Amino acid sequence: MKKDLSLIILTYNSEKDIYDCLQSVYQHNDIGDALEIIVVDNNSTHFAEMQRTIQSLYPDITIIANTSNGGYGQGNNVGITAATSPIICIMNPDIRLIMPVFKEMLHTLHQEDNILCGGKQYVALNKPSVSISYDHHAPAIMQSIGNLLRRKYDKYDYRHMWLSGAFFAIRKKEFEQIGLFDGRIFMYGEEFDIHLRIRKHMPHKKIKYLPQLQYLHLMEEREITKEYIYKQLLSDISICERHAISARLCLRRKIRALKINQFIHRVLCWSKSTPTTTHAHTLQLNVLKELYETI
């Protein structure tokens, strides 16, 4: 039977996530046999055991063993190459579907003007996370005040913003035309890079934010460390340089945006800050300043 949508899930030592992820996919699959599911594993320690478990639970899933851990983009490209559907859906293993989404994604991407779409992510029920963000080189006022307004009104502008890369769908033919994931990016920033390439090579195509499609992204317990922030920012710098965007300009604007945010949180009290949020902002600002002095 012809498949309409290929779901790619990349795993790396993801045993604690993948089974619940797949269970949620089957529970909320609203396109039935038209869904193709491909799990690509990036050379996990216990791959053989995970493979046996998945095959016993879901024999229709295609499982591909990557010979090495080539990173997020490279691993997903393996799955995309093997996919048979005209629409590709990328999903992290720590995603949990809480409602049917595939039919609406297909409907959106069957419209020729649209190339990519994504929904609204939550870290817990009734606790929304960051689903859309301004470009890293956007003016500081957009990255601060604009992001606050964006969170309040849930408005998306595909010309200056990007969608979360944890769960999104894209037309395969057009994705191949812009080069799929950039395999040089090991992790972090892939969605920003993809959005920049779409705008550059296919400016007439639209990226759609579908806030009515909600899902869980279980990342609230991730520890925000200096190393974690460094890796994210170094990847952002690399992407900016490849797109002829000044890395110093991006870092300078990020620093200004964070300072504005701190002012808002501490003085105007427009938004409630938790100790965790305050610590993360301070840590990120310190790392930004260190990086800015080195480039």
Q: What is the pLDDT of residues 119-139, one digit of tens each?
A: 999 999 889 998 999 999 999
**What is residue 267's predicted lDDT score, i.e. its pLDDT?**
66
Do 210 and 228 share a domain, yes or no?
no
Residue 52's pLDDT band (cuts 50, 70, 90): very high
Domain boundary at 187, 221, 255, which?
221
**Segment 62-99, tens digit of pLDDT:** 999 998 999 999 999 999 999 999 999 999 999 999 99
Residues 259, 145, single domain; the answer is: no
What's the structural domain count of the chain? 2
Question: Is the domain of 127 the same as that of 267?
Answer: no
Mean pLDDT of the chain, nearest integer: 92
Q: How far apart are the first and last CA of the chain?
A: 54
Considering the domain architecture, whether residues 111 and 177 belong to the same structural domain is answered as: yes
Residues 80 and 188 in one domain: yes
pLDDT attached to residue 106: 98
- Does residue 114 share a domain with residue 20? yes
What pLDDT does residue 233 have?
Answer: 92
Co-location of 172 and 32 in the same domain: yes
Could you tell me the two tokens for 167? 């769960």
Question: Which amino acid, residue 197?
Answer: R
Residues 211 and 282 in one domain: no
* 209: β partners: 118
**What residue numbers bound the domain in which 176 lies?**
5-221
pLDDT at position 147: 79
pTM of the model: 0.91
The 10s digit of each residue's pLDDT in 210-220 is 999 999 999 87
Same structural domain, 206 and 237: no
